[in-house]
Chain A
Amino acid sequence: MATPDVNIGAPVATPAVARRHRLVLTLSRLWAWAFLGLMIVFFVIAVPIYNGGSVNFLTVRNSQNILVAIIPVLLLGLGQTFVIIGAGIDLSVGWVMSLGSVLSALALRAAFNAGLPLFPSVVVGFLAAVAGAALVGLINGTIIAKLKVPAFIVTLGSSFIVRGVALLMSENTTVIGLPRGIRDYGNESLFYLIRGEGGGFYFLAPPELTGELLRRMDRILSYPVVITAIVVAIAMFILHKTQFGRHTFAIGGNIEAARRAGIPVDRRVIMLYVLSATTAGIAGFLSTLRFTAGSAVIGDPLLLSSIAAVIIGGVSLFGGAGSIIGTVIGSLIIAVLTTGLVMLNVQAFWQFIVVGVVVIVAVLIDQSRELIVGRTRTGPPT
């Protein structure tokens, strides 16, 4: 995880203290990976023991199930990562996702019924979700940047508005009557693996199968997973390789300093909220494909999970630090827990308790990091 230039400051302490600092910094970078690894090891051992040896945790199918399951939380978290690194917060993402789901369903249905072929209709649905979501982000960002209203308040307010709009547009919370074929876009995959006898590995299309062979078929890299991976790659590029990314860290580190350094802060802040809403809109679009229906409530339960994923992934709530891969790890931790606990027949509510503990640990680590990095970053008090 490369630290951007604004964050680099030479440790200003004695060698002993510096060593301790290095330890904390290394720990703060790696602990989420370590936790995820330990958790997987735990489930790999515990699941077969609990189920009498016949069931394994680390299977192709399970890994794919988990990749599919992280999509909504991860996509909401990706945009949120930018916003929080920029020292903001976006509380509207769950409902923007619902709006994206409704808009994409309505647009897709209208386009298809107007005679457009399936694929262009799906593209229309995608564009509608992204455009509608981005508009919400633009409004959020503009009010926050230009009118100087705290992000917490603006996005809280817009979450209610967006929720109302999505419910009104969908009329009865679910938009149905979408063309059947979109199911494939939302659920089929790049590769198919048929395990065991008579099996094989197939690209793009599985062979005609029945009965037993169908049961042994695993979908590998389903389209939503591929799309999400592309979005992750783009987000990594923007955050870690572009001027916009560097400015985001700078704004989160010290907004006044960023302004004095000539960064167009207002424009950048607006863009952060547009990004955040856009990834939420994509999440809504993908859920529409997956369930072949638009839902005005699909994103409602996801806001807190997505923020938790971001925090677990090491994004500093103080702003100015964090990475995309951290958010991926954070989302994975939450999803692996859900699947593992179900396979151990443990009440799913334990997931909340574990996630809660992990979030608090993450913040503690972040604070100790802040004690060290923060001092070097902002310089001595004047």
Chain B
Amino acid sequence: MAKRHLIAAFAAATLLAVGANAASAQENIKIGFLPGVVDPFYQVMELGVNKAAKDLGIEVVTQVPPTWGVEAQTPLLNAMIARGDLNYIITAPVDKDQMVPALQAALDAGIKVITVDTFLGDGDYVNGPVTFPISYIGSDNVEGGRISARGLAKAIGGKGTVYINSTNPNVSSVEGREQGFKEEMAKDYPDITVLGPDYNLDDPNKAAQQTAAVLEQHPDLAGVFGTNVFSAQGAGNAVVNAGLGGHVQVVAYDATKDAIESLNKGDVTLVLAQKPFDMGYLAVEFAAADAAGVTSLPKRVQTGFAIIDKDNVDDPNYSRFIYKAE
């Protein structure tokens, strides 16, 4: 009995402490930012985080894993938890299952979690297997795959054979893109046949070889969907070297500067830009809002896409979505 009272008292004290913390939070909160890996996409996200932090007068501590993987991200996360002075962690979990315990530990240490770009569980923080993060802010990869499919279908006139070149199996982001692409083609474009995916393991040389082999196999190939920059770079190289630049349309996911350069050179027809700056900025705003006691933050925010082609690449309304880290 005494023990239960003790627990109740402790819980009440904790609640009070948290409440007191929230009341004075506006200027006092401190946020940890832990993206997935060093790359231009997350660099732009970091710009968004830093801008919001500056606008709101919040301190942010950033740690960037040098490689993509649970074994690289977890120690940095643990170090952030061990600091003891963070109230929120904004992170892109590199694995939707394996990162759950580590982020749960952050929550247990009193640090609230917002995920950006990637998610935990199935990304549904209301009814899904993981519900503790405040929100998942990112673009929907399946939707991105659909948009890519529609863009490619339009570019090839709604019929023909297209090919997916991808990086690695079992990565939620590229898997979603493949899935959305295939679904959309199957649903709305009965005259389009989809081949692949082949996996190039992040090696553009291999992507080029695979695409060249598919071009031999299907000389009438109309288009290629590269699910990330390596895939699109390799596929574009193979297409141009086969004398098919401009005849075989290549869609690239992610508007890195080299994807845009490929677009300018004509190796790539369409570039799908996500909005990492928005993701970073919104996540910090969400943390501030939560600290100020806002309780109706959406559990899922889709940041959407911009589609860049050679006609609009110089238009500032579109070019501002190119991943530039300055």
Contact = CB atoms under 8 A, between A and B. Distances in A.
Nearest to B200: A348
| Band of interface residues on B | 35 or more
Contact of B204 (A68, A183, A216, A291): A291
B250 interface: no
Contacts of A66: 209
A68 B209 CA distance: 8
A51 B213 CA distance: 13
Interface string B53-86: 0000000000000100000000000000000000
B208 interface: yes
Interface in A168-208: 171-174, 176-177, 180, 183, 187
A339 interface: yes
A174 B258 contact: yes
Contacts of A298: 203-205
Given A176-B261, A342-B217, A287 B205 contact: yes
Nearest to A217: B243
A301 B217 contact: no
A343 B237 contact: no
B199 to A, nearest CB: 6
A292 B204 contact: no
B205 A215 contact: no
B265 A338 contact: no
Q: Which of B39, B205, B212, B237 has the most CB of A within 10 A?
A: B205
Contacts, number: 115
B202 A300 contact: yes
Nearest to B205: A72
B135 interface: no
B186 interface: no
Contacts of A51: 217
Nearest to A50: B217
Contacts of B203: 298, 301-302
A297 B202 contact: yes
Say what secondary structure dominates the interface of chain A.
Answer: helix
Interface in A52-74: 55, 59, 61-62, 65-66, 68-69, 71-72
A339 B213 CA distance: 5
B257 interface: yes
A71 to B, nearest CB: 8
Interface string B195-218: 100110111111011101110110
Contacts of A297: 202
Interface residues of A, number: 51
Contact of A172 (B43, B212, B265): B43
Contacts of B217: 47, 51, 55, 342-343
Contacts of B312: none
Nearest to A175: B258
A115 B27 CA distance: 52
Contacts of A217: 243
A167 B66 contact: yes
A180 B266 CA distance: 12
18 contacts: A68-B208, A71-B205, A164-B66, A171-B325, A176-B261, A209-B243, A215-B243, A292-B261, A293-B233, A293-B258, A301-B203, A339-B209, A339-B212, A339-B216, A343-B213, A343-B214, A343-B217, A345-B195
Given A173-B40, A339-B209, 16 more contacts: A59-B216, A65-B209, A69-B205, A172-B39, A172-B40, A214-B243, A215-B219, A217-B243, A290-B237, A295-B204, A298-B204, A301-B201, A301-B206, A335-B209, A338-B209, A348-B210
Interface of B: 38-40, 43, 66, 195, 198-199, 201-206, 208-210, 212-214, 216-217, 219, 233, 237-238, 240-244, 247, 256-258, 261, 265, 325
